[in-house]
Amino acid sequence: MEKSLTHRAPNDTNCNRFPLGVEVKSLFLFLLGNLMILSACGGGSSNQLQSSGSLSGNWQFTMAPPPDNSFQGGVQGGFLLQSQNGSVTGGVTYSILLPPQQGGSPSLCNSGSAPVTGTVNGQIVTLIATAGPQTFTLTGTLSTDNSTMLGTYTSTDGNGCGTAQTGLQWGATSLPPLTGAIQGNFHSSLDPVLRDQDFPVTGSLTQGANIGASNATVTGTLTFQGYPCLSSASVNGQVSGNSIILQIIATSGLNVGQIGAPGGFTNPSPVTLASSAAGVVLQGTNGYAITTSACPGGILAGDIGDVCLGVGNTSSCTQPITLAPASITFPAQQIGSAPTSQTITLTNSGLSGTPLTGLSLSFNPQSGNTDVFGLSDFDGLANFTEQDNCASSPGSSFALAPQQSCSITISFSPQQSCPWLPSTALGGEPPSACPFPLKAEITVNSPISADNDTAFAVPISGTGFSALVPLAPEIDFGAEALTEMSAPQLVSFINQSAGPVQILPALNTPCVNPAKGFLTLPRPPAPGLVAGLQVVTGEINPIPNGADITYNCDSDLTSKQPNFQISADNCSGTLLLPQASCSFAVTFAPQPSTPLSPALDYFLQLNTLECTSTITSNCEIDSGRFPVELTANLPSPLRMTPGAGLNFGIQTRGQVGIPLSITLFNDPKDPNAGTVNFTGNLVKGDYTESDNCGSSLAPGSSCTMTVTFQPKIVGYDPGTITITYTVGQTQTVYLQGTGQ
């Protein structure tokens, strides 16, 4: 009788022997059975290739420096591709730094992209990167979850960029693709315009295909909440290892910023990415930069700040506190009116589940104000005040439990409409910029932050308007020769307050210098010391205590007469009722000892009855302002009628207003009389110009310039026309209007 076949368990010591005498029905079943037996016995012969881990994707490398300190750096980051047989190709970036000399910084010796080849057998990895003259050979072990590699490396001589090394440690971390929804923040560090303001960002990113290059493309969109520079943008850039660079593209198609280094774009700092259980996070200190052109409202330096963007991550970039609203703007109100209030709510957003301790807040009542004396120029009082129920005493630290809130109340009672001084060099503002925004700031300091900035600011702004305001903040005169006088131009004031205001009367003795020398007057001036209306130069010298001011009157050294002469005056001494107006005329009559080059730029001072603790009616706080700027063009035979300026008033944005005209006349009596040969007109601003002047204007002849205004913005919208003629001489027509 034949012996029976005996079934053996997988752990049978003879499981490596196949039974004999078995009828094989098919080659397929025979092979399948053998594979099952091999599997049960833990594999086949020792030379069989094991299954390999996965290396395909984005990797960030770290390399230990050599003990001889001959170089720093090495392979940095890039992408790997793995074939089915375990071979590896790809590309990485590298950077070789020489050690610092005499306390300096390391210097770059070699950098670029390096091709990579290698193999992975099971979890054993070998990679070879050719980095310029150096070759780095990395051997190590891949973790079972395919997320990290660790091992040692050798390198060849770098021809001056490091010596040959062996047995040094290296490691690498796999990074997930930058694809998914964004939730994060731009946290400005720009001082002082946007400093510490935090702007939420949403959007999405998409990482391009892995082609084994040293980097992969990244595209996407961003949407900003409350950010003055951008409301939305697209991004286009690349990622290599944990380093990312994204160009920020405005809706106009212009490249207006960058996330991440290298420099060359207003120098943002590097931004790195890290993966966590919650997703990928892009983060960097001063890691984004925005150009000036993208930021409106006079933000001259653009913006730069900390960035934290979570990709597929809804929590890592959420800030520990919220401040609502993110900014406060008070409606315009009259100077000295009763305070109005708005409230900011500070909340522990509760993500950590624990109380926030060590919170503090500070209030700056004149943030961004440009007045010389701080606070109000006129009475020394603050325009903004603050009260809160957050801290037990002002400036002390406090704590908030998760989701707990406290309130910060800001009150606004404006004490000025514009800084006192007309000279911008001394901190004042030109009348055309008035009323000037008044600003304050609340800053909350948190013990923690999603980025590296633990200060969170809320900007506060408001506008105060004076009782008496000019209908035009600037009057411009064309050139006049000595002994000539321009046509008079009308200046009007309106009382926009609810009560009457007393304009001080004229004086029998006008403001004359140098006979009286420099005049030191109380500020605001008391009745009887100065005239209600007088012209002063821009040579203003403030006295530090803010009580007085020293200035020069418009008075010629020889003639003792002003260059800008006031006539037909029905304002001086008038008690101007609410909504009533008054007017007077100003004529430009150049005097013999007043240099006309550079062009004259003076100011009309309006002196009214000052409100004090004892004077509360028929007055205004900011008596003694300089509400109208008076300018004259350089000497020239060209005369302009009615003057060298056009005021278009208020015009709807995008619509063309009624045309205004200026007549040019070539004065044959001018000392430099002769034919004027025009070489071109340069128009700036939202204005267009046409004329019938041709290429020249003979003495005694005239022509007409016609100008239209089509505002593109809301608010004050100035412009100029520069007329160039003869041998590089110019005359300017000043244009002003307001878009609504």
User: Which pLDDT score is estimated for 299?
Assistant: 62
Q: Is residue 337 part of a domain?
A: yes
**Of 207-211, 380-384, 430-434, highest mean pLDDT:** 207-211
User: Which pLDDT score is estimated for 373?
Assistant: 44
Distance between CA 57 and CA 47 in Å, rounded?
29
- 306 lies in the same domain as 406: no
Q: Is residue 49 part of a domain?
A: no
Q: Is residue 52 part of a domain?
A: no
Distance between CA 418 and CA 436 in Å, rounded?
5
Q: Dump pLDDT digits (tens) for 486-543.
A: 999 999 999 999 999 999 998 876 665 554 444 555 555 566 677 899 888 866 655 5
Q: Is residue 487 part of a domain?
A: yes
Q: Dump pLDDT digits (tens) for 80-138.
A: 999 999 999 999 999 999 988 777 788 999 999 999 999 999 999 999 999 999 999 99
- 136 lies in the same domain as 243: no
Q: Does the pLDDT at position 172 exceed 90?
A: yes
Q: Of 12-21, 215-224, 357-366, 685-694, where does mean pLDDT reach its minimum?
A: 12-21
The residue-averaged pLDDT of 393-417 equals 94
The residue-averaged pLDDT of 562-571 equals 93
Domain of 104: which CATH number? 2.40.128.120
Q: Is residue 50 part of a domain?
A: no
- 492 lies in the same domain as 622: yes
Quickly state the pLDDT bin for 320 (edges 50, 70, 90): very high
- 614 lies in the same domain as 490: yes
Q: Of 76-85, 142-151, 728-737, where does mean pLDDT reach its minimum?
A: 728-737
Domain of 620? 468-635
User: Which pLDDT score is estimated for 65?
Assistant: 93
- 530 lies in the same domain as 614: yes
Q: Does the pLDDT at position 169 exceed 80?
A: yes
**What is the DSSP annotation of 195-251?**
TT-EEEEEEEEEE----SSS-EEEEEEEEESS-SS-SEEEEEEEEETTEEEEEEEET
Question: Please, what sign has the CA dihedral across residues 240, 244, 245, 250?
Answer: positive
465, 495, 527 — which closes off a domain? 465
- 225 lies in the same domain as 291: yes
Do 439 and 463 form a contact (C-beta atoms < 8 A)? no
User: Which pLDDT score is estimated for 523?
Assistant: 57
The residue-averaged pLDDT of 221-234 equals 96
Can you give the C-alpha Rg of the chain in angstroms?
38
Do 121 and 158 form a contact (C-beta atoms < 8 A)? no
Quickly state the pLDDT bin for 200 (edges 50, 70, 90): very high
Quickly state the pLDDT bin for 734 (edges 50, 70, 90): very high
Q: Does the pLDDT at position 550 exceed 70?
A: no
For the chain, percent of residues with pLDDT exceeding 90: 63
For the chain, percent of residues with pLDDT exceeding 70: 85
User: Which pLDDT score is estimated for 293?
Assistant: 84
Q: Does the pLDDT at position 29 exceed 60?
A: no
Type and span of the H or E element at 672: none
- 190 lies in the same domain as 291: yes
- 441 lies in the same domain as 337: yes
- 617 lies in the same domain as 643: no
The tokens describing 79, both together, are 């992408």
Amino acid at the residue 239? V
When divided into structural domains, the chain yields a total of 6
Domain of 570: which CATH number? 2.60.40.10
- 504 lies in the same domain as 628: yes
- 437 lies in the same domain as 483: no
Q: Is residue 116 part of a domain?
A: yes
The residue-averaged pLDDT of 378-389 equals 89
Amino acid at the residue 329? T
Q: Is residue 71 part of a domain?
A: yes
416, 432, 465 — which closes off a domain? 465
Q: Does the pLDDT at position 378 exceed 80?
A: no
Domain of 290: which CATH number? 2.40.160
Which pTM value belongs to this model?
Answer: 0.80
The helix/strand/coil state of 292 is helix
Q: Does the pLDDT at position 545 exceed 90?
A: no
586, 620, 635 — which closes off a domain? 635
Q: Is residue 136 part of a domain?
A: yes
- 276 lies in the same domain as 307: yes
